[in-house]
């Protein structure tokens, strides 16, 4: 089975659990997701199947959309309601929810939660936390494209953001901005790039496969006549100046080729 599955991940499963279930269901080893979703979160998990796994490094359309809600009153070790409470505070509701959300718009440096799998000096942040090792806060550059409230009563909101954004950090930081304790109460991923929750299916459903070309269309598609040279991994000459191109046969992606100068391209990754 080759192509792209859009899975609606249920709560209580890790992203790797989903991959393992798909491997057993289809008796196939080659499955890989394009971005981890927290075990307690639900929503869109994009899964590459079979030959499509070879395209993973070339994915470009990786922005995310989420719907989340905030729990006020306390901070936790994981910045969500499932962690241990580290500090309790009286709840302050004297703030404009939409106005505070808008303050998160744009490019910024976001503090990565300690529960993250992000590695520092070869070790995951969550492992430092598990071993009670104190390290300096870690930040990474992100961008919030849009953010707005859905329901002010339960402090729920929708956010469209760059890959690498932690919604639990938004919830924690909003609490800090409003003189509250707070953490993430719920999380649903509603889109990864062009793949939306409306396209997502249960693991048990009959598979709806999307073509790998959907995640490669940011590259120029080049139909190359001497396609055997491509299958043999030979260098080819193209009337192109793009750094990367997708070589196709009958409009199907066959290989990614890299510009090495003077119209000469070398094979970077076969997709067959």
pLDDT in tens, 235-272: 999 999 999 999 999 989 999 999 999 999 999 999 98
- Whole-angstrom Cα distance, residue 175 to residue 171? 6
pLDDT at residue 61 greater than cutoff 80: no
| pLDDT average, residue stretch 95-107 | 97
| pLDDT average, residue stretch 125-148 | 89
10 Å CB burial of residue 226 (0-12, 13-18, 19+) is exposed
Of the candidates 204, 268, 198, the residue with the CA atom closest to the CA atom of residue 230: 268
β strands within the chain, DSSP E = 3-9, 31-33, 42-49, 64-72, 74-76, 85-88, 106-111, 119-120, 123-124, 139-151, 156-161, 182-192, 195-196, 221-223, 236-237, 244-249, 252-261, 264-270
b/e string for 189-206 if b means 16 or more Cβ within 10 A?
bbbbbebebebbeebeee
The mean of the pLDDT values for the chain is: 94
Residue 96, Ramachandran bin (φ over 0: left; ψ between -120 and 50: alpha; else beta): beta
Say what percent of the chain tops pLDDT 90.
85
pLDDT at 127: 86
Q: Which residues pair with 42 in a beta bridge?
A: 188
Active site residue 38: yes
Residue found by looking up tokens 């909003």 in the block: 174
Q: Which residues pair with 118 in a beta bridge?
A: none
| pLDDT average, residue stretch 66-71 | 98
> Among residues 2, 38, 79, 205, which one is catalytic?
38
10 Å CB burial of residue 257 (0-12, 13-18, 19+) is buried
| Global confidence as pTM | 0.91
- Whole-angstrom Cα distance, residue 20 to residue 4? 16
Between β-strands 252-261 and 264-270, what pairing exists: parallel, antiparallel or unpaired? antiparallel
pLDDT at 76: 96
Question: Long-range contacts of range 49-52, CB-CB < 8 Å, 24 or more positions apart?
Answer: 49/1, 49/2, 49/3, 49/4, 49/5, 49/22, 49/209, 50/1, 50/2, 50/3, 51/2, 51/212, 51/271, 51/272, 52/2, 52/3, 52/4, 52/212, 52/215
Return the ∠ at Cα 128 (arms to 171 and 113), rounded to 5°: 10
pLDDT bucket at 234, cuts 50 / 70 / 90: very high
């Amino acid at each position: 089975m080759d192509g792209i599955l859009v899975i609606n991940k249920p709560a209580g499963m890790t992203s790797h659990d989903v991959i393992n279930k798909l491997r057993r269901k289809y008796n196939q080893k080659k499955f890989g997701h394009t971005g981890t979703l927290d075990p307690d979160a639900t929503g869109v998990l994009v899964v590459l199947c079979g030959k499509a796994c070879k395209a993973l490094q070339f994915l470009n359309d990786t922005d995310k959309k989420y719907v989340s809600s905030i729990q006020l009153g306390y901070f936790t070790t994981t910045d969500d309601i499932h962690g241990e409470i580290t500090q309790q505070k009286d709840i302050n509701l004297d703030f404009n929810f939409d106005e505070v959300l808008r303050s998160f718009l744009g490019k910024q440096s976001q503090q990565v939660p300690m529960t993250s799998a992000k590695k520092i000096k070869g070790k995951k942040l969550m492992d430092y936390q598990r071993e009670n090792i104190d390290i300096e806060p870690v930040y990474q550059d992100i961008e919030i494209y849009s953010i707005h409230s859905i329901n002010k009563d339960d402090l729920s909101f929708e956010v469209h953001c760059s890959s690498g954004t932690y919604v639990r950090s938004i919830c924690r930081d909003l609490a800090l901005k409003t003189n509250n304790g707070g953490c993430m109460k719920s999380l649903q991923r509603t889109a990864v790039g062009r793949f939306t929750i409306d396209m997502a299916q249960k693991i048990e459903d009959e598979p709806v496969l999307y073509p790998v070309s959907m995640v490669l269309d940011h590259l120029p598609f080049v139909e190359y006549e001497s396609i055997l040279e491509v299958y043999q991994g030979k260098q080819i000459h193209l009337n192109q100046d793009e750094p990367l191109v997708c070589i196709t046969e009958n409009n199907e992606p066959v290989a990614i080729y890299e510009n090495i100068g003077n119209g000469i391209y070398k094979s970077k990754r076969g997709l067959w």
